[in-house]
Amino acid sequence: MIIDVPPFDLPSRLDEAMAIYVAAMNYHPGSGRQRADHVLRHMELQAFRFRIALDADGRMLGFGYGYTSLPGQWWHDLVRKAVGRGYGEWLDSAFELSELHVLPAEQGRAVGERILRSLAEGLPHHTMLLSTPEGDNRAWRLYRRLGFVDLARHHLFPGDHRPFGVLGARLPFAGSGDVDESDPLGLGLR
């Protein structure tokens, strides 16, 4: 099941979500606490949306969140410079996907895709934007499947040595999103 977590409920869900973040990205546990502070600040931003996948026992399997990407925000301003003038319109009505993570043991069962499609559902924005470390992995495969294209590649953000791809997709996403007609794993997802 994918559910929306409204801001008033978010603090009570954050520890579980940050444990998923740390495990999925193989980060130091301290980075989860740091990220939690970011989330609580992001919660104030326009069109903030936080969605989680739960199994039948109510255990969180993954989460994703984002908000309207606007001038004056750290990521937006850096990305606007990185993509150059030709792609400026991609940023004019954009929902920024800030995080999307699934518990390692649950990856590869379409949980991430369901969360991402749920986040995009009914958004008034024209595009969704994100940045992700360069690599040949499941995240890239998912984003390509949903129609994300390159806006910038091998981009370096301040304070991070890893090169990133900056990707964008037109909304609504391409494809039916019909990944759950059978739910063969009995995860109780819809």
Ligand X SMILES: CC(C)(COP(=O)(O)OP(=O)(O)OC[C@H]1O[C@@H](n2cnc3c(N)ncnc32)[C@H](O)[C@@H]1OP(=O)(O)O)[C@@H](O)C(=O)NCCC(=O)NCCS
Least distance CB 33 / ligand X (angstroms): 18
Least distance to ligand X from the beta carbon of 92, Å? 22
- The pairing of beta strand 94-102 with beta strand 127-133: parallel
Q: Shortest Cβ distance from residue 80 to ligand X (Å)?
A: 19
The catalytic residue positions are: 143
Structure tokens at 132: 């992700």
Which residues sit at the interface with ligand X, rule CB under 6 A? Answer: 24-25, 100-102, 107-113, 132, 138-139, 141-142, 179-180, 182, 184-185
Which residue number places its CB atom closest to ligand X? 112
d(CA 111, CA 53) in angstroms, rounded, equals 7
C-alpha to C-alpha distances, 107 to 40, 43, 96, 101, 139, nearest whole angstrom: 26, 26, 22, 9, 10
Distance in angstroms (rounded) separating the CA atoms of residues 63 and 98: 11
